[in-house]
Structures are given as C-alpha cells and as structure tokens.
Structure 1
C-alpha cells in the first residue's frame, strides 16, 4: 500500500464527470445544475492499492518500447503510427486522429461535450442572486423545467438556445471549431423554435420564450456575429416587453429579464443611434425608483427620450427649441448626480492605493462596479450632448446677432450659456474613474488594492466581463481619454475578448479605434482650415 498523493477534494460526481467542483456543503452547485443529488465528499486521507496500476503501466511501457523498435525498422508502420496520437493517463487511454482541432487530443468518457458545455456556461454566466441581484440565475431552473416538460407539442426554443450558447461559450474557450459548428446548428434550431413559440398566444408570453431571446442575444455577442454593432434581437426584446406588459414585473425573474432587455435596448438607442419600434414612455411606470439599478434606468430613460425628441425635430432647430433641450439635459444631469447620493454604503466605491502609489477604485463586488461603469458612460454621453447643444446655441445667437443681454429665451428669462470647462471636467472625471476601476474589475487587485497572484489567468467570470463591454467601448470611442487611458481601456477589452472568449469585446476594441481615427482626421482637418 502506498500513499497516492493529495487526492481531489471535489465531490464524487464532479470527480467522475471530471469537472471542477466548487466544494460547497452540503452539496455542490454543479450537482444542482446537473439535476442529480450530490453524493458528498471523500475522507481527508485516502490510501489506494497501486499494485495493479503499476503492473499495467510497466506492461504498457514495455509494449510501447517494442512498438517503437518495430516502427523504426518498418517505414510503413512508422507512417501509420505518425497519423495517430495515443493519450494515456491513469484515468483513460484514447487514440484519436491527429488534426489541428484541440478536442481531438482527448474525449470525455463519462459525459458528452454538450453536458460539459452546459456546466461551463452555467458556471461562467449565471450568478446566484443576493440583495444586490444576480445574473441569469433564472436560466438553470427554467432549463430544467423545460427538459422535464419536453414534448412534441411544446416548443423547445429555450433548450436549444441554452445548448447553443453553452456550446459556443466552450468552443471559444477551447478554440474548437467542431463545437462552434454544433453551436451554430443549435442556434438555427433555437430560432425556429422561437418562431414557433411566438406564433402561439400562450407560449409567446411565457418566461421560457423571453429567456430564449436573452440567450440568443448573448450567443450573438459571444460568437461576435452581430450585424455590425446592432443586435438582430432588439426588435424581439421590444415586442416581448410590450406584449408581456406589467405582469412581467410581478415576480423577480420577470423583472430581471425585463431589466436585461431594457438595458440592451437603451444601449442600442443611446450608444448606437438606433430608433425604438415602440413608445418607451410606459416603461417609467414599471420601474422601481427605490432600486438603485432601476433608478439609474429611469434616468437613462429620460435621456433616451431627449435623444429621440432631438432626432424627430425638424432641422435646424430654433433658439427656443435648443434652449429647451439644454434645460432638459441639465435636469437629467442633476438627477444622475443625485443618484450617487442615494446609494447604500455597500454600493459606494472605495479609494485605495496600489503598491506603486496609484489611486484605484474598488467595490464591494464586481457587479456593483459594472453599474458604476454604466453610470459614468451615461454621464459622459450627457456632457457631450450638452457641449454640442451649447455650441449650437452659440452659433444660432451669432447668426441672428442676438447677443444682447436683454434677449430672453422662450421661458421669459435670460438663458446663460453653459460653462464648457465644467462639462469637460465632468467627462475627464468620469473617464478617469472608469480607468481607476479597471484593475479591480479585471481582478488584477483585490478590494484593498493589493495585487492578485502574478501571471494568473483572468479570475473574473464571463458574465462580469460581459457587463464591462459597452461602457468601456463608449468611453474609449468618445474621443476624450488620454493616450494612456486609451491603451488601458483597449487592453481591458482585448483581455475580456481573448481570455473569456467574448468575441464582441474584440469587435468593440477595433470599432473604437476606427471611430477614434475618424475623429482624429476630422479634428486635424478643422485645425488646417483654421490655419488658412
């Protein structure tokens, strides 16, 4: 009898399935997701009889030596042997054709790739809800319920959407084209199932149908298969949000799905200039102003309505119209500033200093940091809007020669121009605080600013990296960060894209560079014109 070294401390089922166990007690999370009771954990000390194993390894070694000698003497045998790879471990012995696909180097013996992809996806993208909320934590129970109720008469769009998204997630992590092809096939089946569900008045309003659209939009971002930067599922979100009405806000799962969909929609409107296909005013009555996240969404809704009003007004606007827009923008900005004063203490950032004396911002948890990223991006949008409106107003006044101090605005009072230095200062502050938050958000430092283990892989979950994308992209592409900040944000996007397998992050990094290049060319052209 020999001591076999430090054994795995995972539960019996996770060890059998050869997946990482979170070692939670009394049962691990993977077993809950897998739908099996957790069998528990082995004792701390384990002694194994290794006699047969040693004999088998010696025999295999001798056989391999004989085969090697024979191969050296027979060219045809050598050629045949070179076309295969034998992977031998104490747990399995597999022979696979030698290709560039990393999956061909090994194959699961006790579970399918679909099962492994499912566990990996749930681990990376579902975060259990607590008092500050979760992320897609409603997907595993909905998935389990649909599997249990599956029948020929029930659309299975959620099952296909989950399977396709899970396969694409694992495919990107393993760089496995075989899984990517399977994921795309599942995506096509999910789309057909979704169409079938939407054609049914009963199934169209179900949580499973809405969750399918959530997952298909996520699949699109993980795979990097958007139409440019616009999502092909925004119209579906808008249709289902309206169709489900106020009833969807009566339970937490419906509210979480609504918040995901609405955030997706307003990003398309504010950041990408898309036009909604329904009236957004009804949203205000459905959101809870006592919830920090929904309070921020309410403020973003007001900014969204202002953007849409400006787009629908005949151009060029008159002086009174521009002044009314500036007034609405300032009110929205005051409301956003007030949002930071009403947050619970656990939401507030903490100023810490790195080992090099650099000032950083850390948070109680990364999900809170993500909400602050969105807040800062919205503030930057608003300051840029006010800058543009202020300059438009100045141009109108100059053209009409209405600089007299007695001139009054449409409100009957003198309209003071905005202080552009203050607007630029807010943009600078929001950009700087965004960059100060990146080391914590990417797990480079802990909550006290201390560096995490050097050269370790990215320790955040994919869901957390996914939440950083659009705020970082907007701050990067707006043209205001310094060169050092540009490099920091761009590197963060590339890390999320390459380490977490979210292709949208790589696309956004490239797109921001193109936008910044265009802005630089325009600025240089304006400077040349001014010189002449």
Structure 2
C-alpha cells in the first residue's frame, strides 16, 4: 500500500514548522497569534490511497527526446501515472472506503431508487480504460493533476456523473508534444484550479503562460478543417471556458462574462459539426456541458442562442426528465432575451428601443412567461421520488459551522446526488427569471405611474419566489457537506473539516446568485448567499464567484425602475421613484446609474416577510455588501 499513514489536516505553516495545528478555519489561531497570514489547508480529497497490487500504476521513463514530450517533461525522472477506476468498479476494501469518503455524495436519500433511465449512450464508463496518459506529465507535480481529477473530472455522485470525464479517452489518444492544444489546455486549467484553491500564487503566472500557449494551439487547430471537427478541439474550448471560470478576479479582467468568447467559439464548432457531434459518446458528453453553459449565460445575461442549439437538442436522446428540463430552460432563455429586446436597455448588449413596443407584444410575452411557469410546475410535480429533495435535518446552534465558519440554522434538503441537485437548482433559478419577466411585463402594462406591487398577481408571485429561494438556500448546506454529518458513510470524518470538491462551487454559484439578486429574498437569506459566493471564491478558488458576489442587484425592481424611467422620458415627464434605494450602488448595467444620478431613487424591494425564511445567520457583519 502507498501512503498508509493518516495525512495531517494542519495548515501549511504548522506542517512546515512540525507543530500541532488547531485547524481553525478559515485561518488557524497559531498563525493569527504570530501575526502571519495563514497559508491555508490542503485538500484532503486529493490525497488518495492507491493499491499497487492491482497494477493500477504504469511507470515510464523519458527518453532522449523527452524535452518534446510535453510542457517540461523531465528526461531522466520516472513519472507515476495513476489509472482512474470508476467508483462502481472498485473492489478492494481500501479503495471502496476511499471512494465513499471522498468521491461521492452519499446522503439519506441515497436509498431511494435512482431516476429511471433506459440504457442510453451516456452509460459509457466501461468503453475505455480511464488512464491519465503520458502527454500531460509535467514537473509541476502529480498533486496538481490529482487535485484537478478528483475535483472536476472523475464521478462525484452515486450515478457516476463526472463533469469533465470525457478527457480520459481524448488525452489517451493525444500524442505527446508541445504543440498539441488539449494537453496544454488541461495543464493550464489544472494549474489555475490548484493555485486558486491551495493558495499557491507562484503557480498563477505559469498557468497563465500555459493558457496563452493553449489558446494559440487551439486557434491553429480551428483553422484546420479536419482538426476543427475533432472532439479534442471542442474539448479544448470547454477547458478554456473552465479556465475563465476559475481564473482569480483581477482588475484587468474583472468581468463575469470573460468566458463568453470561448462559448461563442464553441457554438461555431457545434454549428459546423451539426448532428455529427452525437456520433461518439465523447461528443455527446461535451455537447451536454456546452449546452448547459450556453443556456446559463443566456438566462443570466440575455445573450441570444443560436437556432442550431434548439435543433441539436431536439435530435439529442437522453433521459426524458433531463430532456424536458433542457427544453424548458431553452424556452426560459428565449423569454429572457425577448423581454430585453422588447423593453430594452437593462440586459447587457440590449439598447433601449427608440419607441414604445406594441402593447399586444408585451401581453403576448406575459402569456409566454405564464405558460413556461405552468410547464415547469407540472414537470417538477410529476418527477419521480428520486428526483426530489428530502428535508433530512434542521441545523441548530449546536451543529458545527459549514463553509469555513459560516453558522447556519435552518432546514437541510438532501438529494440523491449533487448532479440532480444541480439540475433542480438551475430550474429554480430559471423560474425566478421567468417570474421577473412576468412582473416586468405587468409593470409596463400598468403604466409608469401605477404601483405594480398592488396588482392581484403580485402576492402569488411573491409566495412562489419565496418558496423557490427557500429551496435553493436549503440545498446549499447539502452541497457543502452538512448532510454528511448524519450519514453512516462518513463515520470518523469531522463534518466541520469536510472539504467539498470545487465542482460543487461551480454547480451552485449561479443559482445562489439568482436567489440573492431577487427582491423576494430576505436580508438574512441574502447575507447567507453572499457569504456562500465569497466562500466559493476565496476558499474554493472559483474566481467567477467573486465577481458575482460583488454585484448588488435587485430583480425585478431595478429593471422595472429602468424601464419606468424610459417610459417617463418617452412621455416627456420627469421621473419620480417611489423609495430611496441603497442597493443601486453596484449594477450590471449602466442604465440604472442614470436613474440614481438623475433622481437618487429607485423602486425599492418589498418589505421582508417571515414566510419562507428557512435559516438564521449568526454573527452578521454589516460590511459583507
């Protein structure tokens, strides 16, 4: 056996000084007492015990031409390449223990039947040997790649849903060399992920340099008609998009939409290939990820989707429940784009219309929003039991803090795995945006001088949105390990020290942002979700979350205020807001700044209600916003 000892959970400083660390998070008291900045803790999930008796290691030595084998492969030092074994195929007791402790998301809901899905092309884990190939070996260290594989690639759920697990067969077929884009993109993304979470700033310049080389190599591949149709080129674009999500936020590129250019390139490749992308399992897997990213961007930023994406979705065969969610999300994205085109000016890239839109068009958009919400509600109500969350506990003051010290009091909803939680949370976020669109249409139809909060539909919208936000908030503790405390799979593991995979932060940051931006979230909920975004950014190394946490939005009140200002301008009347709004300090669109500059007012959020408030945050700090 390798590494049979128990790894120390202490911070880097205490381990280097060989003293006992108190493992207080986010920084240990001993570092604080000496006036040092605690360097943080390593990811215990990346430290794995591997049984060599099953010959899961392949050793190779670099030859005289080793300098051409990859980005900096040593020609003299042997490199251990670790074979990945899917959780369902691990048979040894030690391997099974490690899998249950670090690789999956066990929960009390696990005993329910998994969602019924017939044998589909996506059940492909046995079609290749998932082995880390030679082409990604670098002297940066195996720990970087082990971290990235355990956090982003291998299966992290009971149904073995790996996020980037299509990389194994692609990298295995890539010849080693400096000019191949896929190994470069993999190395750059692995380094930025490791450096961001493990607090290794010296690795960031190297990751950036490798990223630029990967960009250049990818451009060359796209310019070749044959290579442009290859799955490895599409995988490169997916990895570069992931790099932009993980990239630490800096003033030089502090935009959450920085990854949009890579998504546009992915769309061009998908249009070029058409249904050809479905001929291989790898292509189908990449399509699922890219479609999810494209729809997410469209719903949040009102970015139009290409018609080819709708056609490809119709041709794609997958689990019926997932396919229905995909269809509804595409309709929600269309609705989001439609309201910006019609009412104009609030979404990025949508200029205000010079003339008022036809009243019939706004009414038709409102009917579309109501129809989409009805279809969402019907689909969720008809889901099998395994697709639904279950309230497994109610956390109290006596329970340990989650997410590096954030105290949480309230209900905890668990799911059969993180993948299902991710799909449901994105459906909830889409429903919030659909309700925002419906309320904006009602406010416009009411006219600039009416109060949209007095219409009969407002109370029903408020009740629905409060319930949706409560569900999103109650899922956050599960995503970050709170449900593990009562699970028999985690015996001997301290829940306060559990470090969730970084993929958990990627999966939940956008739904959390959508809920935190809603008018119908209480201030307590909003504070908790802001802290969640900051934790995802600062402790999990997801740079995009820092940008989302910096926004201070309120929807639908801010878009309604902006549209109302334009209505007054078209009528030739001065604009008067109905309440002073402190939330207008930071916005995603410059239009609202004009409102504040001109009038100093916006339409305020509704008064907080006690209904639907599932938690209470302890030790609130006023400087979080």
TM-score, length basis structure 2: 0.61
SS at match of 1:271: helix
Look up the match of 2:393.
353
Look up the match of 1:140.
168
Tell me the number of residue pairs that the alignment of Structure 1 and Structure 2 aligns.
428
Aligned partners of 1:498, 1:29: CA distance in 2, in Å?
35
Shift of 1:511: 2.2
Shift of 1:386: 0.7
Aligned partners of 2:294, 2:269: CA distance in 1, in Å?
12
Aligned partners of 1:209, 1:259: CA distance in 2, in Å?
16
Distance 1:319 1:489, change over 3 A: same
Shift of 1:141: 2.6
1:202 correspondence with 2:226: yes
Look up the match of 1:444.
482
After superposition, what is the alpha-carbon deviation per residue over 1:124-183, rounded to whole angstroms, capped at 9, x for unaligned? 11132874733111113312321xx2468xx51111000001111121233223211111
Deviates more, 1:185-194 or 1:258-267: 258-267
Q: 1:116 aligns with which of 127, 135, 143?
A: 143
SS at match of 2:551: helix
Q: Is residue 114–residue 163 contact of structure 1 (8 Å, CA) maintained in 2? A: no
Q: 2:601 aligns with which of 501, 525, 532?
A: 525
SS at match of 1:456: helix
1:286 correspondence with 2:324: no
1:224 correspondence with 2:248: yes
Q: Is residue 117–residue 167 contact of structure 1 (8 Å, CA) maintained in 2? A: yes
1:127 correspondence with 2:154: yes
* TM alignment of 1:39-438, pairs within 5 A: 112-128=139-155, 131=159, 133-146=161-174, 149-150=175-176, 156-224=180-248, 228-230=255-257, 231=259, 232-276=261-305, 280-288=309-317, 290-313=319-342, 315-356=355-396, 358-395=410-447, 419-438=457-476
Higher RCO, 1 vs 2 (CA within 8 Å, ≥6 residues apart): 2
Aligned partners of 1:234, 1:347: CA distance in 2, in Å?
29
Aligned partners of 1:494, 1:379: CA distance in 2, in Å?
24
SS at match of 2:154: coil
Shift of 1:243: 1.5
Q: Is residue 124–residue 462 contact of structure 1 (8 Å, CA) maintained in 2? A: yes
TM-score, length basis structure 1: 0.71
Distance 1:116 1:175, change over 3 A: same
Aligned partners of 1:166, 1:174: CA distance in 2, in Å?
12
Structure number with the higher helix fraction is: 1
1:473 correspondence with 2:513: yes
Distance 1:197 1:525, change over 3 A: same
Distance 1:396 1:137, change over 3 A: same
Distance 1:248 1:24, change over 3 A: farther
Distance 1:29 1:419, change over 3 A: farther
Gaps in structure 2 of 5+ consecutive residues: 8-45, 60-78, 85-89, 95-136, 343-352, 397-408, 559-581, 587-594, 605-625
SS at match of 1:358: strand
Q: Is residue 205–residue 244 contact of structure 1 (8 Å, CA) maintained in 2? A: yes
Aligned partners of 2:379, 2:55: CA distance in 1, in Å?
38
Gaps in structure 1 of 5+ consecutive residues: 1-5, 11-18, 45-109, 399-416
Point out the structure with max Rg over C-alpha. 1
